[in-house]
Every structure is written in C-alpha cells, then in structure tokens.
Amino acid sequence: MEKEASQAAEASVAVQAVLEAEIREHNALQSTARTTCEALEVRGVESGSSLRSRLIALSGRIHERLREALHTGVKHALAVVSSHYTGIDLEAVSDGYVMAEDDEKVEEEVMNLVEAAEAPGTMLASLFEEEVVPPTPSTDAGDPEF
C-alpha cells in the first residue's frame, strides 16, 4: 500500500509539473498574441479578450495589412509606368492582361510575361519595400515579460 501511495504521489508531481509547463506556455502564447495585436494596432480586442478572439482579430488585421500592401504596391507600380510613358491609359492597364482568346496560349503567355518581369519587378519592389512593408520587430527586444 505504501509503495502504491508513493507511486501515486510521484505521478501526481509529474502531472503537476506538466500542467504548470502547459500553463506557462499558454500564458506566453497569450502574452505574445496581446503584444502582436498591440503592435499591429488590432482594433476591437479588449484587454480581457480570450486568446481565440485575439487570434481571430489578428488574422483579420493581417489580411487587411496584406491587402493594403498589395494596393499600395500596385499603385506605385502604375505611377512608375506612368512616369515612363506619358499619356498611358491607366484605365486600360487596370483591366488586366491583353491576351489571345486561346486559354492554353494565355497561360503560357502570362508565364512568359511574369518571367520577364521577375528581375525588374524585384528591383522596383525594393524601391518601395521600406514604405510598404512594416519593419520587423527588433531582435534586441527579447521575449515579453510574463
């Protein structure tokens, strides 16, 4: 009986240690979600909000920021094209590709156009990267305090 009680006590200590580790991990995740929401200026999340609601709000904000970045990048690219080609019809350009009717040829032609635009597109994107892409958090900041 004493041996069984000792084993049960040891098991209880082990379970308690695992539970405490899980609680610390959950608290760290919750703190990280809170810090990230604050950094990305996520609105509509109260200080006592659940981790789930914070992550859902964070997902929405990330989607919004990506959409803003896409639109800003496209507008800058059109502005650059306009500066090179005075009088260009941006409305026509905004309609998308001008392609043949054959779907198979269209796919191949789009792939060729994208390939040709790869290097110049990378160079152009680097000109706007600082303006469009938010800076990464400092690695010196370390982990948030728990």
pLDDT per residue as tens digits for the range 28-57? 888 888 788 777 777 766 666 787 887 888
The model's pTM: 0.61
- Determine the Cα–Cα distance for residues 12 and 30; give it in Å rounded to an integer: 26
Task: Read off the pLDDT band of 75 (50, 70, 90).
Answer: very high
Task: Write down the pLDDT at residue 15.
Answer: 92
The counts of H helices and E strands in the chain are 4, 0
Whether residue 130 is predicted with pLDDT greater than 60 in this model: the reply is yes
Lowest mean pLDDT among 6-10, 38-42, 141-145: 141-145
Which single residue is written with the structure tokens 């059109």?
78
Task: Write down the pLDDT at residue 145.
Answer: 46
Whether residue 64 is predicted with pLDDT greater than 90 in this model: the reply is no
- Determine the Cα–Cα distance for residues 30 and 140; give it in Å rounded to an integer: 21
Calculate the alpha carbon distances from 107 to 115, 122, 145 in Å. 12, 22, 51
- Determine the Cα–Cα distance for residues 132 and 102; give it in Å rounded to an integer: 36
Q: Which of 124, 142, 125 is nearest to 84 (CA)?
A: 124
Percent of the chain clearing pLDDT 70 (strictly above): 89
Asked if 72 and 129 touch (Cβ cutoff 8 Å), the reply is: no
